Amino acid sequence: MSFIEFLKTFILGVIEGITEWLPVSSTGHMIIAEDFLKLNVSESFWEMFLVVIQLGAILAVICMYFNKLNPFSPKKSKTQRRATWDIWGKVIVGVLPAAALGFLLDDWMDDHLYNSFTVATTLILYGVLFIVIENINKNKQFSTKSFKHLSYKKALAIGCFQTLSLVPGTSRSGSTILGAMLMGTSREIAAEYSFFLAIPVMFGASLLKIAKFILKSEIAIAPNEISVLIVGIITSFVVSLFAIKFLVGFVKKYDFKVFGWYRIALGIIVILLGIFKII
């Protein structure tokens, strides 16, 4: 693995680690980054890499919230363990819609929607929605301020919003947080629930991509591709630790409008780059 390839992979890992958790679309950023940071890998490997690099980000969530998500902790009381199982129950319910649609539409999405035009459109659309919804919620009192008050019905509804993120540029965390806030969930709980939903969704997506890569590949994975995967995952893990901590602190003080304006600006830049045939 050359130094240039290492540097490109490192930058991609940083992009993934930051954008996976902020509501700005990690896949959208990675698709755009591909035009500037082309790796010396096969097309099938790149399609797999775009998803599997997320494993590093997921491991960061597990590390940071291990105690909260561990129902077997001997330090927890019976009531606390029951509450932890309750969180996992709501996570499973929330995952079902995206898991079902993702499995059915994965190949179609790859063939038709993984492009800069789709990314630009969804970046701008959801950027506008973030600003509008935050203005509507400016003086609103949220009814769901803890996981205890998050009903299974609401968890399923939020999971339905998460299916919107199957379209590149939407942002999995963005669609989940927007949906949760529309249903009266506080920003803090919306953000945490988004983190937790990502664990089974992204593990499942990664396993699916790895399986398809193995089945489709006519040759074995190249040594440099293994290095790319390892560097990307490790980098996204480390950077995600900081990104998650930042977002948790951010939502306690500010709203999400700044992300809305960022999405709109980035979407416009992508359109201009497309017009001038830079990407």
**What pLDDT sits at residue 34?**
79
Q: How far is CA 9 from CA 2, 13, 45, 53, 212, in A?
A: 11, 6, 13, 10, 22
Name residues of the chain where pLDDT drops below 50: none
How much is the pLDDT for 171?
85
Q: State the DSSP string of 84-113.
A: HHHHHHHHHHHHHHHHHHHHHHHHHHHHHT
* pLDDT attached to residue 91: 95
Residue that has been written with the tokens 């920003």 in this structure: 187
Per-residue HEC secondary structure of 162-198 comes to HHHHHCCCCCHHHHHHHHHHHCCECHHHHHHHHHHHH
d(CA 203, CA 199): 6
Report how far residue 224's alpha carbon sits from residue 42's, in angstroms, rounded to the nearest whole number.
Answer: 11
**Is the CB of residue 203 less than 8 Å from the CB of residue 252?**
no
Report how many domains make up the chain: 1
Is the Cβ–Cβ distance between 229 and 42 less than 8 Å? no
CB of 201 closer than 8 Å to CB of 209 = no
pLDDT, position 152: 95
pLDDT digits (tens, 9 = 90+) for 168-224: 888 888 889 888 988 889 889 999 999 999 899 888 888 888 888 877 766 667 788
Q: Which pLDDT score is estimated for 166?
A: 83
pTM for this entry: 0.85
**Residue span of the structural domain in which 14 resides:** 3-275
At residue 149, the pLDDT reads 92
CB 191 within 8 A of CB 128: no
∠ CA 27-247-249 to the nearest 5 degrees? Answer: 175
Q: Which of 100, 247, 269, 89 is nearest to 177 (CA)?
A: 247
